[in-house]
Amino acid sequence: MAQAAAHDYRPSAAAAGARAYASTAQTALNPVQASLLLHEQLWQELVRAKSAYEAGRLDQMCRRTEKCLRVLLMLQGGLEPKPGAVDKLILSGLYLHLYERIRTVQRNREVGAAFDETILILQRFCKAMRDRLRTDMQAATNVGATKM
């Protein structure tokens, strides 16, 4: 039972993880930072799954890809559809594509190419999120400086 709790990826478990990270870092995460953290962890888990595959540790690869699929389902489930919400539509499409590519890995088809494509997509997505976060933080700093 304790093992099942360690692999619990419901939104409440993710929120608890984000809170634990925030307390460790001595700072509160805003929603964009929490989202970036989840996406970077997903990316790192895929890199570990690919390494396990390349080392012939298929049981470890399968556990890691299953974890990735659960995280993607959680992220997908956290999207609230709103009329005209283009960002959420794009994210939904991204999560579906990543899910299908990871399932391709699990079906033992195009494993190397599927890993490489999925990792590259997540790497670029995380970079774009970090750049946006940096720009937003700089803009907030500049607004605060002009008010003084």
Architecture (CATH level 2) of domain 10-132: Up-down Bundle (1.20)
Which pLDDT tens digit goes with each residue over 62-120? Answer: 999 999 999 998 888 877 766 666 678 888 889 999 999 999 888 888 898 999 999 99
Read off the tokens for 70. Answer: 């659960």
Overall pTM > 0.95: no
pLDDT at 77: 83
Q: What is the rounded distance in angstroms from the CA atom of residue 52 to the CA atom of residue 61?
A: 5
Query: 88-118 burial by CB neighbour count: b if 16+ within 10 A, else e?
Result: eeebeebbeebbebbebbeeeeebeebbeeb
Q: What is the pLDDT of residues 12-70, one digit of tens each?
A: 444 555 555 555 555 677 877 888 888 999 999 999 999 999 999 999 999 999 999 99
Q: Where are the domains of the chain?
A: 10-132
